[in-house]
Structure 1
Amino acid sequence: MENKKNHFSDWEQLVKKQLKTENIYEVLRKNNLEGVEVQPYYQSTNEYKPLPKAEESTHLVAEYQESVADQAFAVLLNQNVEHLQEKAIFINNPDLAEHIVTDETNRYFSLIDVFSDDQSAVIDEHLAGELLSKTFEKQICIDVSLHQNAGASVIQQLAFALGKTQELTEKYGSGILTKLIYRFAVGANYFMEIAKIRAFKYLFNQYAKEFDQDLIPYIFAETSLRNKAKYDQENNLIRSTLELASAMIAGADAVFCNNYKIENPSELSSEISFKQQIVLAYESIINVFEDATSGSYYVEDITRQFAEKAWKLFLKIEEDGGYLELLKSGKIQKMIYEQAVKEQQWVEEGKIKVIGVNLYPKLDVKKSVSDLYNIKEIKKVRWAEMFE
């Protein structure tokens, strides 16, 4: 311990000399929109116990098309496809809930959320009943990908996921917890997105223990649309590669890459998007690790902060009536709106840099914040829309 203190003191003195200031922490502090403290130097942290994945290795999910059917073990279905065998199938279309043709050699997971996203604030009980009657491995999805794409903070996403879980638990009992799959969109802030997925594992595990269950959440992670642009669309490949990497490293059970082409997507661009995952997994094997960042002081610390702050917000949501009640009153929408506008302002000011959009831009045409966002609506908004 004494050696650590001496080393830390030596580091501080060296930095003070280099920066020519006594107030080094003020100079080195890096602001962020997530409400967490990021230190310039870590000497220790309280490590959380590493939590495993539900799957042995992360599924690389492809949107179904014949050109990748043989290469993809896991497929995303928006329409019914027969004669699939020995696949992990993620059902993405509510219309398939009743009509999907199952094969006993396949594994089935529902990505269908039964919550409304508007101020009607209801659970579709008919749809939920239909899904719960299926022999899928996971029948109901808690989807917070929309919240991320609408501009919600990490802490908000985590708290909303717990809030929606609580609503289902109250309606269907704690047995519902084994039937859930969680859908997250993974954004551009690499290490914080790793911490987001790690934090949710701890949060869900803690929540389940309230009902005497020791459970690990099944996490489906997809690339975000929020930081993608219409111009120089190949840049979107770089952005989504980093997002996929952070999801795999964090221990997501399945990952999916949205088409990198915002305009004029094709079967080829869909195939290229999927094959990013193959390159990442097969060249670096990052899809097999359970918790690759365990022991990283920085990631451990922001994981802890996310978990603590999200749990606190979740409790506040419950105290105020619950997720659906706050959605009905417009408070959830307002929370996301305020966060999204701050984030968009950082993009406009260049604090968040997006190549070809606000860094080396081709066009100077802009839309205002009021053109993009609505305080009463949760909707997907890309940063670049302000400049397109």
Structure 2
Amino acid sequence: MRNTETLLNWEKLVKKQLKTEDDIYSILKKNNLEGIDVKPFYDSIHKALINLPKVEESTHLVSHYDPSLEEDVFAFILDHNVEDLEQKTIFINNKDLAGHISPEENDNYFSLIDVFDENEGSIDDQLAKELLAKDFKRNICVDISLHQNAGAAIYQQLGIALAKTKELVEVYGSDILNKIIFRMAIGGNYFFEIAKIRAFKLIFNQLSKEYGLDDIPYIFSETSLRNKAVSDHENNLIRSTLEIAAAMIGGSDAVFSNNYLIGKKGTKNSEEISFKQQIVLAYESILNVFEDASNGSYYIEDITQQIAEKSWAFFVEIEEKGGYLQLLKEGSMQRKIYDHAIEEQKWVQEGKIKLIGVNLYPKLDITMSIDDLYNEKEIKAVRWAEMFE
């Protein structure tokens, strides 16, 4: 129910603060590249969304493997074989390593290997079948972290995730839905990223119902590279902390912090600090145990609904035009992501998107043009700050 008196009192106070009798909503309105309608004040919600749980009871805190962390860390990303880790949750990030793991050893194993070839517009069928033959908890990774780091809009990322899922179902059947792990990069738009995770749960659940199921997606979230810079590494650390918080609040099943040192090889100390962001948020703020911590927030509920609707519409558009792989082969999917990435980069150049130490209180000057950074025929990761470096 709308509290009319509360709304009127708020409007009166804002007019007083702004010293105006004009329409305050046009003054306070802020545009965003996602096309989401954000109100300056929320006193109600049209329809409360369902509370979708996580697959995991508590969010896995994931680190790159290091022998010194074996006693304290329970989930690792592995790029090479390590013996005697049966009690750990393992995320495999290497094709060769996945091939060497025998079925009886891997009841705590997850694959982070994407079977899609974005350049060829195809699925690596042999790799997919080899992974599906493994007794992993989740065998196939649908990776949309690349798309976020390439500059895709949130609704594009989620629509692509569904479209890639649909491609897998058409080849391997609907049983694959509970064998997929979704790898997402979480950007710096804090509340939108919380809503992104929640919205994806809604639309994935909706897709699963098309096949007579009622599944919840397994979401592996990691910090974005797109908003990081080679200078002021401490700012990178602050940004990634907020991203991990958004991932946990949104209801991710696993979270991973990329190294905050950009442009140079990470050190053992920087890897440890990056991981300990998760420890602070989980054990000091207890963010990793909630199924849907933001449920009931009018603002987040509203933008979650809008993102879900836009993402589903984009998914339907992809399907009507032949599917994700077909659009990749045509080059039109690359163009859609390119168009949004270019617009986003212009906002960075103009200061509408602010990065401290880069375009706000800058230490760097523009050294590259937008055209130098992007290619409309390729989906590739680009950091905003690259044009200043």
- Regarding TM over 0.5, the answer is yes
Do the aligned residues in 2 keep the contact of 1:89 with 1:106 (CA within 8 Å)? no
Shift in alpha-carbon separation, 1:365–1:5, aligned structure 2, 3 A: closer
Q: Matches of residues 129-148 of structure 1 in structure 2 within 5 Å?
A: 129-148=129-148
Deviations 1:110-162 (A, max 9, x none): 011100111x2000000001000000000000100000000001000000000
Please state whether the residue corresponding to 2:95 is helix, strand or coil.
coil
The 5 Å alignment of 1:125-204 reads 125-204=125-204
Paired letter, 1:5? T
Task: Output the CA distance in 2 between the equivalents of 1:267 and 1:319.
Answer: 48
Moved over 2 A (4+): 9-19, 100-106
Cα separation, 2, equivalents of 1:9 and 1:351:
31
Contact 2:103 2:134 in 1 (8 A): no
Q: CA deviation at 1:16?
A: 3.1
Cα shift readout 1:203-254 (whole Å, capped 9, x = no counterpart): 1111101111111110000000001111121221111000000000111000
C-alpha separation between the residues in 2 aligned to 1:168 and 1:207?
13
- Take 1:208 and 1:105, find their aligned partners in 2: how far apart are those partners? 26
Residues 27-176 of structure 1: pairs in structure 2 closer than 5 A: 27-45=27-45, 46-100=47-101, 104=105, 107-118=108-119, 120-176=120-176
State the number of aligned residues.
386
CA distance in 2, matches of 1:365, 1:349: 11
**SS at the partner of 1:11?**
helix
Q: Distance in 1 between matches of 2:68 and 2:237?
A: 20
Alignment partner of 1:247 is 2:247: yes
Deviations 1:38-70 (A, max 9, x none): 001112112111110000000000011112222
How far 1:356 sits from its partner (Å)? 1.0
1:193 and 1:156, CA in 2 relative to 1: closer, same or farther beyond 3 A?
Answer: same
Residue type of the alignment partner of 1:74: A
What is residue 337 of structure 1 aligned with on the other side? 338
Could you tell me whether the CA contact under 8 Å between 2:258 and 2:274 is conserved in 1? Answer: yes
Which one-letter code corresponds to 1:25 in the other structure?
A: Y
Query: Hey, what does 1:358 align to over in structure 2?
Result: 359
Structure 2 contact 75–88 (Cα < 8 Å) conserved: yes
Match of 1:237 in 2: 237
Q: Which amino acid aligns with 2:145?
A: S
Give the Cα–Cα distance (whole angstroms) in 1 for the partners of residues 175 and 65 of structure 2. Answer: 32
8 Å contact 1:223–1:258 — kept in the other structure?
yes
Question: Is the CA contact (8 Å cut-off) linking 2:103 and 2:135 kept in structure 1?
Answer: no
Secondary structure of 1:75's match? strand
Give aligned-pair identity as a percent: 63
Q: CA deviation at 1:13?
A: 3.3
- In structure 1, C-alpha distance between the alignment counterparts of 2:152 and 2:313, rounded to whole Å: 16
Residue 13 of structure 1 is matched in structure 2 by: 12
Output the CA distance in 2 between the equivalents of 1:258 and 1:103: 31
- Find the counterpart in structure 2 of residue 270 from structure 1: 271
Could you tell me whether the CA contact under 8 Å between 1:139 and 1:180 is conserved in 2? yes
